[in-house]
Structure 1
């Protein structure tokens, strides 16, 4: 039976990866910052390991000794994505770990070069650490999470104004995978030894922005005015403008993801859903309905949902 350590095990994605690994019969070590009283800790195949990537490789090694696969679902800046994961990788090397899935879980990060997306660059820098490592890297790419893509940071939906914004012509399919489906795929990939030293692309659904607009109107039961904000060149210019005035990368990084999605450089290649037939992705419309998308929008701006 495979033993997997999951870093970031209490996050929205990490906790579901743990759940799916346990359902598949794996032994799971969940790296947590503090002891948990969660009932899931009572699972016979689950061990809670109290620690943090900032503790360094020496402290982390005891958690990875005897582990075959490490899955990282951590989030943060360079101190986490580069420095923290590098410490985890060093510990994994000394512990004889066979494979590691770093915290990529995004668009095709390697479809475009450096300087396009500040957060992609962090993950690309960490990926270079595997070039001389004894641990094989398995990167999981899933496209965009609808939970975030339809949130305020991406500026696609504006419930107050009742608008749905599009850059470009909106006709290129983009890759969208829910957090629960990403966790299900990741658990299957973690237990698949054939994924060593591979980029594994899986997807929930591929929709154009115009199709996504129509599905959101159907699910929400209201009209969203389609706003065309400009060409992709206009989008690139807007990113540059914000970079000069921003106090945080949060003010422009979502647009950096969008330009790579909309011009196709971030599109998933060689999608491998067929390798995991027991994972059945949920269509975006179905997921939004189950996610109570209409009610969430009503909470933000009730007058538009009267």
Structure 2
């Protein structure tokens, strides 16, 4: 039985990774900041480990002793993605952990250079720590989460105005994978030793922005006016304008992700869904028919100013 530690185990993604690992028969240690009402449900193969990445590698080591794979689903700024995960990696090294899946779970972060996307930059800086590590890195790329891509931060869907906005021609296919499917794939990848030292790209569905609009119209039963906001060069100019005036990365980071998605540099390569045939991805239509229908109604709660967002 493989023993896996999951950091960020009570988050929207981490909690589902824990669930999927348990369903696959793994022994799971869930790293949680403190016992709380949102802690994972009791399970004979689940151990709750109270701790925080900020505790440092010495304190974290007791949680990873005897662990074969570490999965990180934490979110935050550089103090979490770089500093915190680095402490977890150091603890894993001393404990003899074989592999670690860092908290990437986004578009193809390594398809483009530094300076394009601030969230990608944080993850690439942490990835460099594996160059001299005894722990093998497995990075999971899934494209965009529809839960966030169709939310207010990406400015694609505006339920109040009834509009669907596109930068560029909208004809390039983009990668979309639900949080639930990402968790299912991640659990399978965590238990697959052949992924050591590799990038693993998996996807729910690939479709163009114009095809996405068609799916939204079919699911919602209403027309969404297509708004062409400009070329990709116009998009880059808008990002630069916002960066100059921004008080928070939230004001422009979603558009940074869209640039890389729409110009193709963030596209997934060598998609390996076939390696995990027991994971059946959710189509965009199926997502919109269920939980995704919430996107058609009132806007979600606004993100707090200064809060570091989820990658995509």
Q: TM-score range by the shorter chain?
A: over 0.9
Q: Secondary structure at the match of 1:271?
A: coil
- 8 Å contact kept, 1:41–1:48: no
1:37, distance to aligned residue in structure 2 (A): 5.2
Q: How many Å apart are 1:39 and its aligned residue? A: 8.1
Alpha-carbon distance between aligned partners in 1 of 2:90 and 2:83, rounded to the nearest angstrom: 11
How far apart in 1 are the matches of 2:39 and 2:236? 47
Is contact 2:10–2:38 with CA below 8 Å preserved after alignment?
no
2:118 is aligned with 1:101: no
Cα distance in structure 1, aligned partners of 2:111 and 2:42: 42
Alignment gaps of 5+ in structure 1? 292-306
The residue number in structure 1 matching 2:48 is: 48
Quickly say closer, same or farther: Cα 1:161–1:38, change in 2 above 3 A.
Answer: closer
SS in 1 for 2:138: strand
Q: Deviations over 1:81-108 (max 9, x none)?
A: 0000000000000011000000000000
Could you tell me whether the CA contact under 8 Å between 1:13 and 1:180 is conserved in 2?
yes
Give the superposition deviation at 1:110: 0.2
Query: CA offset at residue 221 of structure 1?
Result: 1.1
Q: What is the TM-score normalised by the length of structure 2?
A: 0.91
Q: Does the 8 A contact of 1:108 with 1:266 survive in 2?
A: yes
**Alignment partners' CA distance in 2, 1:38 and 1:214:** 37
Asked whether the equivalents of residues 7 and 71 of structure 2 are also in contact (C-alpha less than 8 Å), the reply is: yes
Query: What is the DSSP-based 3-state SS (H/G/I as helix, E as strand, rest coil) of the residue aligned with 1:89?
Result: helix
Query: 4+ residue runs of structure 1 moved beyond 3 angstroms?
Result: 36-41
Report Cα offsets for 1:270-296 as digits up to 9, x if no partner: 0000000000001011011999xxxxx
Aligned to 1:57: 57
CA distance in 1, matches of 2:54, 2:60: 9
Q: Is the contact between residue 41 and residue 47 of structure 1 (CA under 8 Å) also seen in structure 2?
A: no
What does the per-residue CA deviation read over 1:120-144, in whole Å, with 9 as the maximum and x for residues that have no partner?
Answer: 0000000000000000000000000
Deviations 1:12-52 (A, max 9, x none): 00000000000000000000011145685420000000000
Aligned positions, number: 291
For the residue of structure 2 that corresponds to 1:29, the secondary structure is strand
CA contact (8 A) 1:74 1:80 kept: yes
State the SS of the aligned residue for 1:257.
Answer: helix
**Larger displacement relative to structure 2 (184-193 or 34-43):** 34-43
Structure having the larger proportion of residues in helix:
1
CA contact (8 A) 1:173 1:209 kept: yes
1:219-269 CA distance string (max 9 Å, x none): 111110000000000000000010000000100000000000000000000
Q: Name stretches of at least 5 consecutive residues in structure 2 with no aligned partner.
A: 289-305
* Structure 1 stretch displaced more, 40-49 or 155-164: 40-49
